[in-house]
Chain A
Amino acid sequence: MNHTVFGKFAAVSFQKEITYRFDYFMAVLNGFLYIFIFTALWRALYAQGASVGNFTAASLTGYAVVAMVIRISFSMDDTTIAQKVRDGSIATDLIRPVSFFMMNLAQCIGFSAFHTAARGVPILIFSIFLFKLNIPFTAQGMAFGALSLVMGYLILFMLNYLFGLIAFWVIEVFPFQLMKYGLLNLLGGSVIPVDLFPPFMKPFLTLLPFQHIFYTPAAILVGHATPERALIMLGEQAVWVFIMGAASLLAWNAGKDRLVIQGG
């Protein structure tokens, strides 16, 4: 898919979000609410004298805000593929000379771009002042962080894509989505930084891609990871991007031959 087509799909999806965002203020409020809850929670734990990994009270607040802002900015519509399979409108996508994967990615980027601009950025700016956040923005941290954000985004996109493709096999995808939300909430790092998990959880974190979605970029951006550690984390993320990419390709090739276009 060339960049003009890609840009067009992204722009349309961005525009669509604008027209349908009647609940915009609710969504912003909701984002703040989450940030308040988690920062308050961590502060309370500190006040109790709990030791929270190698975080300080201030750095954990910073982490909580940044991770939540990333999560808000990475908003994706993860129901479209299943919806299109169910009502047969996937036919319309498939009669065109475009890659299904790239089309979905473009639309996803348009969607997230809206949420980043309309919710993520304002919430971040407001929170920095509100919580007097002291994030050590260094050039290297920002560069690593940006790279990590891109890879985290791709991993989440492909995770949603793969779970969307389940609809090619089964009609009822909701239970799988629930499982995905559960794992993402628990292991993604937007609620709990993964350093806080007990050692027995380590294999789950390593063998699954979730920690590389919110935790890795957030930890790098707030300077929680040392530059050496950040490099290793970026390498791990890259491996996951590759694995998820290969899985997406395989799943598509297996699924497209058994896809049943409903209706007509």
Chain B
Amino acid sequence: MRYHLVMAYTIEAQNLVKTFTVNESGKGLLGAVKALFSTKKRIIHAVENISFNIGQGEFAGYVGENGAGKSTTIKMLTGILVPSGGVARVNGVVPYENRRENSKNIGVVFGQRTQLWWDLPVRESFEILRVIYRVSKGDFDASMAHLSKGLGLDGLLEMPVRKLSLGQRMRCDIAASLIHRPAVLFLDEPTIGLDVLAKENIRSFLRELNAKDGTTIILTTHDMNDIEQLCKRIIILDKGRIVHDGPTDELKKKFPHDKIIEVDFEREVAALPLVPELEPIRRDGKKMWLRHANGSSGLALAIGKLASLYPVKDLSVREPSVELIVRSIYEKTAALPAFAQGEKAAE
């Protein structure tokens, strides 16, 4: 890889902050006017001092629990929300100051809503976008052929958007965001609510888009398989702060010798004080995920102890998945000491 003297990043976020002020809005005209001058305000810190740089051609996963601030960050980077503090730059442009300028260079998919015209056939929505982004007929036809093949749009183009299934609509929405061949693509939960096959289709399309066209992509998702399969880099957000930022495989290497034991108990078990070598990292009803450091040595013994001392119904041993690692990072209270130990062990 060759480095230029001045390394310009495609996406830069410097100390981004977004706070929402919520004031109690009363009923009617009087209430609405009162709310304008209300002093009773609640401050919500959606994003607190976030910084990261994403280089050209990177495919970064942006994850965090519900309400962590992912969408808020994406809104600031796409120029539709003004930060309360800090600076953002996309392709060197400050998005919320030059919204229209910025929008020419980016593609955006908000998985929760469509950017297509609800009543029009998909093809017509694409045609409107072609005119809006001033794409020539020739370029448009070339793009469409490519997108239609990659996303399997045949047969969907003549349908009105409102008649599409969620998965079909999402494919069309992704195509719509790419009609003008943007250098940067923002995807806010593009796989939400899709079945395994539909997710797989979208993933392989995005993988190719990133590899062949060099499109820089930020992807937010709750599906860690998306991240594991697509994103070389993962940024983890917790309550508005970045708690981890690094290569995805490194995250796994943090626990090179760990094994995860998935246990079904006969009844709910609160803690496992008698088997201290198995550390609970997640609980879901009667199900529990336990971490065993030191790889396989002593694993059989620990499992034997567990099975004889607690009402185990079923168990299986696995490698730690990104899902579990990320979860253990979210659930700091229980998992942070272990995580810190893991880091030390890895060094």
Interface residue from A9, A12, A170, A260 paired with B81 (Cβ < 8 Å) = A260
The answer to whether B82 has its CB under 8 Å from any CB of chain A is yes
Q: Is the CB of B188 within 8 A of A97?
A: no
Q: Is the CB of A261 within 8 A of B188?
A: no
Complex CA gap A173/B25 in Å reads 11
Complex CA gap A134/B103 in Å reads 54
Q: Is the CB of A91 within 8 A of B20?
A: no
Q: Is the CB of A5 within 8 A of B131?
A: yes
The answer to whether B137 has its CB under 8 Å from any CB of chain A is no
Q: Is the CB of A97 within 8 A of B28?
A: no
Residues from chain B with Cβ under 8 Å of A98 in the complex: 100, 132
Q: Is the CB of A261 within 8 A of B81?
A: yes
- The range of chain B's interface size is 35 or more
Query: Contacts A95-B78, A97-B100 given: A175-B32 contact, CB under 8 Å?
Result: yes
Complex CA gap A98/B103 in Å reads 9
Complex CA gap A170/B133 in Å reads 32
The answer to whether A172 has its CB under 8 Å from any CB of chain B is yes
Complex CA gap A94/B133 in Å reads 13
Q: Is the CB of A94 within 8 A of B120?
A: no
Q: Is the CB of B32 within 8 A of A170?
A: yes
Please report which residues of chain B, range 11-34, place their CB below 8 angstroms from some CB of chain A when the two chains form the complex. 20, 25, 27-29, 31-33
Most buried by A among B27, B32, B108: B32
Cβ distance A36 to chain B, nearest Cβ, rounded Å = 34
Nearest to B20 among chain A residues (CB) is A260
- Fill in one digit per residue for B108-139: 1 if any A CB lies within 8 Å of its CB, else 0: 10101111010110001000110111100000
- Fill in one digit per residue for B41-82: 1 if any A CB lies within 8 Å of its CB, else 0: 000000000000000000000000000000100110011111
Residues from chain B with Cβ under 8 Å of A264 in the complex: 71, 74-75, 110, 112-113, 188
The answer to whether A99 has its CB under 8 Å from any CB of chain B is yes
Residues from chain B with Cβ under 8 Å of A4 in the complex: 131
Residues from chain A with Cβ under 8 Å of B131 in the complex: 4-5, 8
Residues from chain B with Cβ under 8 Å of A16 in the complex: 119
The answer to whether B335 has its CB under 8 Å from any CB of chain A is no
Complex CA gap A44/B79 in Å reads 59
The answer to whether B35 has its CB under 8 Å from any CB of chain A is yes
Cβ distance A203 to chain B, nearest Cβ, rounded Å = 23
Q: Is the CB of B31 within 8 A of A172?
A: yes
Complex CA gap A96/B182 in Å reads 12
Q: Is the CB of A261 within 8 A of B75?
A: yes
Cβ distance B222 to chain A, nearest Cβ, rounded Å = 13
Q: Is the CB of A8 within 8 A of B128?
A: yes
Residues from chain A with Cβ under 8 Å of B82 in the complex: 256-259
Complex CA gap A146/B211 in Å reads 57
Interface residue from A91, A99, A171 paired with B75 (Cβ < 8 Å) = A91
Residues from chain B with Cβ under 8 Å of A176 in the complex: 29, 32
Interface residue from A88, A92, A179, A256 paired with B115 (Cβ < 8 Å) = A92
Residues from chain A with Cβ under 8 Å of B25 in the complex: 170-172
- Fill in one digit per residue for A163-193: 1 if any B CB lies within 8 Å of its CB, else 0: 0000001111101101100000000000000
Residues from chain A with Cβ under 8 Å of B133 in the complex: 96-97
Most buried by A among B20, B75, B112: B75
- The range of chain A's interface size is 35 or more
The answer to whether A263 has its CB under 8 Å from any CB of chain B is yes
Q: Is the CB of A96 within 8 A of B110?
A: no
Cβ distance A172 to chain B, nearest Cβ, rounded Å = 5
Q: Is the CB of A263 within 8 A of B113?
A: yes
Cβ distance B25 to chain A, nearest Cβ, rounded Å = 5
Residues from chain A with Cβ under 8 Å of B106 in the complex: 95
Complex CA gap A176/B113 in Å reads 28
Q: Is the CB of A97 within 8 A of B132?
A: yes
The answer to whether B327 has its CB under 8 Å from any CB of chain A is no
Q: Is the CB of B80 within 8 A of A94?
A: yes
Residues from chain B with Cβ under 8 Å of A260 in the complex: 20, 81
The answer to whether B252 has its CB under 8 Å from any CB of chain A is no
Q: Is the CB of B117 within 8 A of A99?
A: no
Interface residue from B27, B35, B110, B117 paired with A91 (Cβ < 8 Å) = B110
Complex CA gap A15/B71 in Å reads 33
Complex CA gap A172/B33 in Å reads 10
Complex CA gap A179/B30 in Å reads 12
The answer to whether A89 has its CB under 8 Å from any CB of chain B is yes
Q: Is the CB of A170 within 8 A of B36?
A: yes
Q: Is the CB of A91 within 8 A of B113?
A: yes
Please report which residues of chain B, range 204-232, place their CB below 8 angstroms from some CB of chain A when the two chains form the complex. none
Residues from chain B with Cβ under 8 Å of A259 in the complex: 80-82
Residues from chain B with Cβ under 8 Å of A96 in the complex: 103, 129, 132-133
Cβ distance A145 to chain B, nearest Cβ, rounded Å = 33
Q: Is the CB of B117 within 8 A of A12?
A: yes
Task: List 7 extra interface pairs beyond A95-B103, A97-B101, A173-B32, CB under 8 A.
Answer: A15-B120, A261-B75, A263-B113, A264-B71, A264-B74, A264-B75, A264-B188
Residues on A facing B (Cβ under 8 Å): 2, 4-5, 8-9, 12, 15-16, 19, 88-89, 91-92, 94-99, 169-173, 175-176, 178-179, 256-261, 263-264
Name 9 A/B residue pairs within 8 A (Cβ), A-sorted.
A4-B131, A16-B119, A95-B80, A95-B106, A96-B133, A172-B32, A259-B81, A260-B81, A263-B71
